[in-house]
Structure 1
Amino acid sequence: MSRSDTVNPSLPLDQTNEEPIELKTSVGYMLFEPVMLLLALTQAVRDMAVPRPREENINIQDPRQLFYTFVNKLSHVCDRRRGELGKTVTSFVVLRKQSDPDKAHYIFAANRQTDSDLQSTARYVTTLLRMVGQAPEGRENQDAARHSLLYRVLCFNRHRITFYLKELRKQAALCVEKCEAERTDNNELVAEGLTEILASPNDGLDKFDPEPDYIHLCETTIKQLIKIEQTIVGELIEERALENRMVGYTSMECWANLLHAIRRILAYQQSVQFFLMAKDKWPNLFEDFTVSFVSSSRPVSKPGRQKSNSAEGIVVRMKSTRTEIDTFKTFVRNLQTFNLDDRIKEEFGKSSFNPIVHAEVLLLNWISKQGPVTPSRFFNDWKYIGCSKPTCKLCGYYFEEHESGVEYRPSHGNLYPSWRLPDVFPHQGEEGLNERKTMMERMKERVRQDAFDIVSERSFPSSKRADSNTDTARMTLLPVGTLRRPPTEVDDLASIMGQVDIG
């Protein structure tokens, strides 16, 4: 029987009494400094950036793509808080249970959560997966199950969803103003659809409002948005949002913000539908499964080495060739009109600069420490780690340089400086330290090359987009009926929600 089958599900899989081996400041700076330089360069040339191409839609007829999307959606419904440095960003991997290889072992991690938070999430996930498993076969028979699942998901994610509900109304009002400023047939259609949203009662928007009011507001809003999505109004909003993504159209950004809010709210209904599609395809995913978690990393204190944080100083320490150094220096001097050095100092000085290990990296690190990363360890032999958000630039590099062949959610290319490699513990010995140093060198080289591409080739980065990925898997959203608290497992839900801060 595997370790994962015998461990207490209320304890983290990576529980240890050991303290991690502290990373030497000089080694940490090998990566921190190039990352800060790249971030400053990216910000300095952002006005010259081009919009990123849209991600391709998921082909839900492809079993592998459907499974990957299911794992991402399971992560999505656990990422319950917006902002706060992405502390609830969640990743999942689905392994085989060694005691029964036909059954699933779900393992998840989050960016910055206490073990108590993770235990609460584990109970919530267990309840969701059981409910999916108990749903009848066939979409035509699953309305009640779909509504019960959506109810639980909306309750668990109230903090984040409330923000989107407020943002929806704010952006809808701005877009109505744009429509009224220029009377056309299309503008009148859009204004009419958005005015219906604005005219709805806002009971449930406040965090202290009763849960039934909040659920009713969600139900009403989702119905309104599904109606909009299925008409020309939805097409017009999307067209205007895409036009807004062209550089220089900031005065029209309300359309992109509106579309983002619409898609984020509807994403919860969509996630529930993906759960039921996965159940129809792989019923054994929801039979006799196990749910476990890996602890979040501890934020490390800000590196304290007193060295020059100027762009030129960092360039010299990056161990580039003399030609590259000269090219870098010339370029960064030209960029001082964009306050390049000040940008670097500002990033180093931020109180939020306390690097953590991102959730998907935590999972890949744990898996690789349990033995060879072979397909047979993964459900359906699919080596995949999903996430509630597209992978960041540094996580993407980590997966590629890890060379384990584990696939991950495509990167949105955003660069987050408060990122670090996984901890090394005494029992890993010199081998663990050497592996970390090797990975640090590889990551530094990838970042250095990115920076040099900007400098030497004027290969300007894509403009930053919302990291929650508005362009998500598309599917026909089913009608939403009246949402009521499921009659079963009420005590279990109360236990979960009692530990969820919705403030």
Structure 2
Amino acid sequence: MVGVGKPRLDKHGKILSRLFENLALFHILKRVDGPPLIAVHAPATIQDARRRFLKNLSYICDYRKGGDTTTSMALEQTKQNCVFWIAANSAPNDKVIVFLGEVLEMLKNEPKGTETEQKALGLRLAKKCADFAAPRLKKESKLLHRAVRYCGKYLQVDTAVAQKPGVKALLEWLPQFSDSTNIDTLTLCQTAYDARHDSQMATLRALSQEFSVAPPETAKAFQAVRHFIGRLAERVRNSIYLVQDTLLLGALLNSYEIRRVGVPVAAKVPPPDGHTNLNSILKRMLPANDPRLEEMQSYVTWLDGPMKLEEAIKNMYAEDSGQSCVHAEIQMLEEFHRNKRSFMGNDRYIACSKLACLCCKLYFRHHPGNFLEPESHQKAYLNWRPVELPDGWKNEHWLDQRKVLANLAKGLGEAVEMQISSQQQPNPWQPDSVTNITASMATFDPSESQEMVGENNSSEDSASLGHLGEGDFSDEYFSDGYATE
């Protein structure tokens, strides 16, 4: 079927339609553009310390599971002072601003001249952060509790596995987390931090890999124990890093202010029309007169039978209503670019509490502002949107946005082209967050970026994790393509 109906004449609507079509096909046919891309911010320089400091501040401000409190931060240098800019997928509320101010004042004013004082400050800060993130930590604690119970029962029942090296020690080690829902959250975070390099963590990894051919819930449960120990330990480690980095960056706190970025209106994609069909989408995706067009159209038409591709794409337009979002790091990028703000130390770095999605990564890459490309989990979300431009192509920011969105659509399209040409299955699902268990950022193990596990907001408890896939981790293990984490 070829495109029929009224031509797409509006320049702004045309590029948004093309972007969404490519995004929808990417989501269906490819899903993920490769393994996560993780940066290392070991404090070898002031710039490294400043980046790690901002990243950890963003992390502690993201206090709820789900995407609403995903937080981005950047440092502006003015003639008068330093400005800590903060943005969130949903605007940072007053609670977050007050919390951030209290943390910065703690780091500025409390004694930290000796190792003893630094350790004490780190513990006080960890407690403050744990209390602030209580909604998130309670859910993570519950998921850890359920995974530990499942693993313990599995190891006790499977006598063959019980004989493997390290399993007996693992069974003796797991109970410290078995009652995690009744332990004070800070105590649990400290327990996780102290246990993060125990040999049993390696045993968990080995078993999860060995069970990759077993029922899916088994491998997921062993991955989950290791993952949530890492996530809980992060609360303690981040506090230690914030204190360490303050020793190098103390001047930042001599005179500063905190300012929030208002959430902009997300661009609205025009509704589907007569051109929203597979043959027309592929024709727009490929260069003019591309010899592959007919063969690729034939293959996609064949896929359309069992997968109902065209119907799925049109359904995605309907599902978009009310869910679109300008991600926090894009808000921050445009705040600095459009208002010509100066970065501290001329370091065009924007921190975020979570890894960037694929669209954000490509937006940074192609933006004329020359911002540092963010770390990314390489997944694309259907509700991703740029900032709305009043008056469309007549808006003063149209030329910048047109270039970025054209390249973003091209990048997604090229990934889809490769997927169709190779006739590969969609890439395996992968979650948004990393386990992040390392001795230090200086000794970061790249393999950690590969081992991750999803999380959800499930409140149902169970002695068994037999339904782990569909129930306990549905927010991320079975994402519908809309950002939740």
Same-fold status (TM-score > 0.5): yes
Which of 343-352 and 381-390 deviates more?
343-352
Confirm or deny: 8 A CA contact 1:270 1:475 kept in the other structure: no
Pairing 1:107–2:74 present: no
Partner of 1:326: 294
Q: 2:96 aligns with which of 121, 135, 143?
A: 121
Q: How does 1:264-303 map to 2 (within 5 A)?
A: 264-299=231-266, 303=270
Pairing 1:232–2:199 present: yes
Q: How does 1:467-486 map to 2 (within 5 A)?
A: 467-471=432-436, 474-475=439-440
Q: 2:174 aligns with which of 187, 194, 200?
A: 194
Q: 1:407 aligns with which of 367, 372, 378?
A: 372
Give the whole-Å Cα distance in 2 for the aligned partners of 1:243 and 1:379: 47
**1:261 partner letter:** F
SS in 2 for 1:395: helix
Partner of 1:360: 329
Partner of 1:167: 143
Deviation at 1:194, TM superposition (A): 1.3
Deviation at 1:91, TM superposition (A): 0.5
Partner of 1:76: 59
Q: 1:95 aligns with which of 76, 81, 94?
A: 76
Q: Where does structure 1 differ by over 6 angstroms across 4 or more consecutive aligned residues?
A: 244-248
**1:321 partner letter:** A
Deviation at 1:353, TM superposition (A): 6.3
Pairing 1:454–2:419 present: yes
Q: Deviations over 1:50-82 (max 9, x none)?
A: x73784655344543333222111111111111
Q: Deviations over 1:137-196 (max 9, x none)?
A: 243312332222112211221111111000000111121123222322511211221123
Deviation at 1:439, TM superposition (A): 2.5
Shift of the 380–56 alpha-carbon distance from structure 1 to 2, 3 Å rule, reads: closer
Deviation at 1:355, TM superposition (A): 2.1
Pairing 1:380–2:358 present: no
Confirm or deny: 8 A CA contact 1:357 1:422 kept in the other structure: yes
Partner of 2:23: 35
Q: 1:130 aligns with which of 96, 105, 110?
A: 105
Confirm or deny: 8 A CA contact 1:397 1:443 kept in the other structure: yes
SS in 2 for 1:390: coil
Confirm or deny: 8 A CA contact 1:149 1:272 kept in the other structure: yes
Confirm or deny: 8 A CA contact 1:111 1:356 kept in the other structure: yes
Pairing 1:344–2:332 present: no
What is the root-mean-square deviation in Å for CA atoms of aligned residues? 3.1
Confirm or deny: 8 A CA contact 1:356 1:419 kept in the other structure: yes
Structure 2: 5+ residue stretches without partners: 1-9, 442-485
Structure 1: 5+ residue stretches without partners: 1-21, 204-215, 477-503
Q: Deviations over 1:284-327 (max 9, x none)?
A: 12222111011112355664344465433422343643424324
Partner of 1:141: 117
Shift of the 471–460 alpha-carbon distance from structure 1 to 2, 3 Å rule, reads: farther
SS in 2 for 1:384: coil
TM-score normalised over the length of structure 2: 0.79
Deviation at 1:385, TM superposition (A): 0.3
SS in 1 for 2:21: helix
Give the whole-Å Cα distance in 2 for the aligned partners of 1:360 and 1:417: 17
Confirm or deny: 8 A CA contact 1:179 1:190 kept in the other structure: no
Confirm or deny: 8 A CA contact 2:368 2:400 kept in the other structure: no
Give the whole-Å Cα distance in 2 for the aligned partners of 1:252 and 1:29: 40
Give the whole-Å Cα distance in 2 for the aligned partners of 1:251 and 1:312: 42
Give the whole-Å Cα distance in 2 for the aligned partners of 1:282 and 1:247: 49
Give the whole-Å Cα distance in 2 for the aligned partners of 1:444 and 1:179: 48
Q: 1:179 aligns with which of 143, 155, 161?
A: 155
Partner of 2:455: none
What percentage of residue pairs aligned between the two structures are identical? 18
Confirm or deny: 8 A CA contact 1:297 1:357 kept in the other structure: yes
Deviation at 1:110, TM superposition (A): 0.7
Give the whole-Å Cα distance in 1 for the aligned partners of 2:438 and 2:87: 23
Deviation at 1:278, TM superposition (A): 1.1
Shift of the 454–305 alpha-carbon distance from structure 1 to 2, 3 Å rule, reads: closer
Give the whole-Å Cα distance in 2 for the aligned partners of 1:363 and 1:431: 18
**1:195 partner letter:** P
Give the whole-Å Cα distance in 1 for the aligned partners of 2:11 and 2:381: 20
Shift of the 253–393 alpha-carbon distance from structure 1 to 2, 3 Å rule, reads: same
Shift of the 348–423 alpha-carbon distance from structure 1 to 2, 3 Å rule, reads: closer
Shift of the 287–350 alpha-carbon distance from structure 1 to 2, 3 Å rule, reads: same
TM-score normalised over the length of structure 1: 0.76
Give the whole-Å Cα distance in 2 for the aligned partners of 1:247 and 1:440: 43
Shift of the 273–409 alpha-carbon distance from structure 1 to 2, 3 Å rule, reads: farther
Give the whole-Å Cα distance in 1 for the aligned partners of 2:369 and 2:392: 22
SS in 2 for 1:296: coil
Shift of the 240–433 alpha-carbon distance from structure 1 to 2, 3 Å rule, reads: same
Pairing 1:314–2:293 present: no
Deviation at 1:402, TM superposition (A): 0.6
SS in 1 for 2:429: coil
Confirm or deny: 8 A CA contact 1:386 1:408 kept in the other structure: no
Confirm or deny: 8 A CA contact 2:16 2:269 kept in the other structure: no
SS in 1 for 2:90: coil
**1:34 partner letter:** N
Shift of the 153–307 alpha-carbon distance from structure 1 to 2, 3 Å rule, reads: farther
Confirm or deny: 8 A CA contact 1:301 1:354 kept in the other structure: no
**2:332 partner letter:** L
Partner of 1:253: 220
Shift of the 436–300 alpha-carbon distance from structure 1 to 2, 3 Å rule, reads: closer
Q: Deviations over 1:456-489 (max 9, x none)?
A: 245777533221222366439xxxxxxxxxxxxx
